[in-house]
Amino acid sequence: MKALKDYVRERELRQSGGMPENAPFHSKSYRRHFEGYSEYREKDSNGTVHIRRVYTGVWHQQKLSRPQRLRLRLFYIFFYVLSAVLFGLSVSRPVTANASWYIAAPQAMVVVGFLWLLYALVGYLTAPEKMTLADYRSVASLCSALRFVSAGLLICAVLVAGHAFIPARSHLVAQLICCLLLLASAGCLMLILRRENSIIYDSFLSEQQAPPDSWQISL
């Protein structure tokens, strides 16, 4: 339960513009998508009421020039595709490790992870140069997906390596090649994650103004 001083501080922040007013009648997904927008009602000449929105929240922008942003995105696409190809080469090799259920299970999770990563990457690549709060979430989503898939690939690599050295197993060299392909695939994603973590983002408040009777949407 919040203390009284917390409620007072929250109210002061809202009145000063430091914390947005919440619109509780909206769904969570709606507020998540339009977080930082100020919403108000406006009548047209026919007297019909329309909902208008203007972004009055915080903008986020990569501290990069446009050519640098383009090269960054090409870098991400190249290493994503290379990682997926290396993973595909590993799991498609006809070795006993790929036929084992305890290796096939995490491999299936990695496939799901690659789909999630593709979705996150598309959201990241299509985000505008100046990002709203909703756009900026694509950065966190991309990093989370990269960590998930990288961890899955490393787990697969460890399991394949362990499987290769079990007595009476054949195709030792072929299974070690699978392991190396998985490690290389994880390495590609780690390069993306490392590059993203090195990027500086500028954050600044929107200069747009909303009418006095508007309310700012927040989670």
* Model confidence pLDDT, tens digit, residues 22-44: 555 566 777 667 777 778 777 77
* Model confidence pLDDT, tens digit, residues 141-181: 999 999 999 999 999 999 988 877 775 555 778 788 889 99
DSSP 24: T
Model confidence at 5: pLDDT above 70: no
pLDDT attached to residue 8: 47
Which carries the bigger pLDDT value, residue 104 or residue 24? Answer: 104
pLDDT attached to residue 21: 47
pLDDT attached to residue 114: 97
pLDDT attached to residue 97: 77
- Return left, alpha or beta for 48; rule: phi > 0 is left, psi -120 to 50 is alpha, else beta: beta
Name the residue ranges covered by the structural domains of the chain.
Answer: 60-203
pLDDT attached to residue 96: 77
Closest CA to 149 of 71, 79, 70, 62: 79
Q: What's the CA dihedral at 147, 114, 154, 100 to 10 degrees?
A: 150
Fold of the domain built from segment(s) 60-203: Four Helix Bundle (Hemerythrin (Met), subunit A) (1.20.120)
**Mean local confidence (pLDDT), 7-28:** 50
Closest CA to 113 of 80, 89, 90: 80
Model confidence at 131: pLDDT above 50: yes
Q: How high does pLDDT run on average in the chain?
A: 82
